[in-house]
Amino acid sequence: MPAFSPFTPEQAAIFANEHSALFGEHSQLQSVAVGINTQNRVFRVKNQFGTSLIVKQVLPYVGGAGESWVPTQDRARIEAELLKIHGALVPEHVVEVLHYDADASALLLEDLNQLQLLRTGLIGARQYPLLAEHISTYLAHCSFYTSDFSLDGPFKKARTAQFLNPQLCLMTEELFFTDPYCNHDRNQFDMALRPLVQQLWFDEAVKAEVAELKAKFESCPQALLHGDLQIGSIFVGSEQTKVIDGEYAFYGPIGFDLGNFLGSLLLHYTALPGLIADPAHRQLQADYLRQQIAQTEALFCQKFLALAVRETKDIALQSELYQQRFVRQVVKDALGYAGTEMLRRVIGQQKVADFSTIKDKRLKLQCETVAIELGRKLLLQHNDLTSVSTVLGWLQQQQS
């Protein structure tokens, strides 16, 4: 294999031109870096007519990672294959992969410049009425058609092996299930929150719930998951929703992807007092978020069960009573994983702009306190919940 070499903008343009017929023979190409960080190099390559593509190159390291984290360039393959498989199931909701080059650890992707990152839009108080409809379709179809309900045993086991992703899974396990619950060097939080955080560190009931969720994450390969489905991995418009990334993909519990998405929306909800000053405007956005959260869960359940009733191939899994029980457990798992997403974003090292853009320190602390309290409550009670509607009720009571 040739030695790895990070792309320059000029090399990214050559790569895009070589692997796509979109530009044409006489195109004059411009290449601009739109995302250079410690994990990836991302370039937008555009011709003189405005036609553009994205080149994403995965670097053979992750800056700031601990010694136990040694992500390999295989995560580029993982991402390409995840996006192709999910894209074949719901092409309208997944970024298109035009080419993957293993030697360069690079992907050529469609450019979603007509859309906006969901987190950015929500911070700007934008509303996307079709979000729940689209994401529930993505989750239901990608979960069902990569699970035992749809795939025969040998094929699914081979697919599971294809998506073994030990380094990235280890990162997830430590960031979600270890760091926030101990005095870890990677943790980053305001010292004013320390008394509240220390309560988590010494709460054995919380630790038991986290252990259960981690064990399921590690040992329950129900479906091919995105692995990082939060509001920073989704591009949106008024009528379009597209999932991006995918390097954290693996076979795991279906509730993890659903919970990650719900948790990131709940986290954003708790940040609203610091993001929107006008009470009436803030209430409108809160109403919208509660609606989308509730609809995502409800529509996912409806769509998954409809697929299960119509298309389950395994005779033993065709019991509708079992299918309903299965989906109920997915929801319980999802609410627990939502709690871990909330807590790791406030306590751990991977911060989000939902809170970092809040200028008023007092308000920021109030919002983070609510997020920690809600995350803890989700961990402790997720097995007793039947729906996210109860959680939304808690939030409304807290507001009043």
Domains assigned to the chain: 9-110 (3.30.200.20), 116-399 (3.90.1200.10)
**Predicted confidence pLDDT, tens digits, the chain (400 residues):** 566 788 999 999 999 999 998 887 778 999 999 987 778 899 999 999 999 999 999 987 655 544 455 567 799 999 999 999 999 999 999 999 999 999 999 999 999 999 999 999 999 999 999 999 999 999 999 999 999 999 999 999 999 999 999 999 999 999 999 999 999 999 999 999 999 999 999 999 999 999 999 999 999 999 999 999 999 999 999 999 999 999 999 999 999 999 999 999 999 999 999 999 999 999 999 999 999 999 999 999 999 999 999 999 999 999 999 999 999 999 999 999 999 999 999 999 999 999 999 999 999 999 999 999 999 999 999 999 999 999 999 998 877 6
Q: How far apart are CA 318 and CA 253, in angstroms?
A: 20
Cα Dmax for the chain? 66
Vertex 314 angle, CA 308 and 317, to 5°: 60
Residue 373's nearest CA partner among 388, 391, 354, 355 is 391
Q: How far apart are CA 72 and CA 62, in angstroms?
A: 9
Q: How far apart are CA 247 and CA 81, in angstroms?
A: 9
Host H or E run for residue 77 = helix 74-89
Estimate the share of the chain in helix, then strand, then coil, as percent rounded to the nearest 5: 55, 10, 30
Task: For residue 345, give both structure tokens.
Answer: 């974003």
Q: How far apart are CA 380 and CA 394, in angstroms?
A: 14
The per-residue pLDDT for 66 is 46
Q: How far apart are CA 134 and CA 150, in angstroms?
A: 21
Q: How far apart are CA 275 and CA 269, in angstroms?
A: 10
Residue 55's nearest CA partner among 97, 90, 85, 86 is 97
Strands 234-236 and 241-243: antiparallel
Q: How far apart are CA 79 and CA 362, in angstroms?
A: 40
Q: Is the pTM of this model over 0.85?
A: yes
